[in-house]
Amino acid sequence: GEDVEQSLFLSVREGDSSVINCTYTDSSSTYLYWYKQEPGAGLQLLTYIFSNMDMKQDQRLTVLLNKKDKHLSLRIADTQTGDSAIYFCAESVLSGTYKYIFGTGTRLKVLA
């Protein structure tokens, strides 16, 4: 079955690192994505990782993928107040349509 799970809330202090976790169930996933959603705004693609990779780094963002455990994480270094948002992970299912299955989102609150 297709299911993506995330913890609902995360609170960190400005300047600390944030780690947002996600688990998925579909072993045929090809790409896994992280999106950011700010209040009243659309989904902004942050980064993605191909399923045969273990890690991807992009400036302050590091994505780690443990395919055996079907676990994905997003690390944000030096978290800033502007990083406060809801973060969604999504898997792209290899079913012909590559539709996305999204998690419920993790609300990140950055304390000054």
Partner 1 sequence: GAGVSQTPSNKVTEKGKYVELRCDPISGHTALYWYRQSLGQGPEFLIYFQGTGAADDSGLPNDRFFAVRPEGSVSTLKIQRTERGDSAVYLCASSRGHSYEQYFGPGTRLTVT
Q: Please give the residue ranges that form the binding site for partner 1 (CB under 8 A).
A: 4, 30-31, 33, 35, 41-45, 48, 88, 90, 92, 95-105
Q: Which residues pair with 19 in a beta bridge?
A: 75
Write down the least CB distance from residue 53 to partner 1, Å.
15
Write down the least CB distance from residue 92 to partner 1, Å.
8
Distance CA 68, CA 56 (A): 17
Write down the least CB distance from residue 105 to partner 1, Å.
5
Distance CA 56, CA 101 (A): 21
Q: Which is nearer to partner 1, 45 or 55 (CB)?
A: 45
Q: With contact defined as beta carbons under 8 Å apart, do 99 and 13 qualify?
A: no
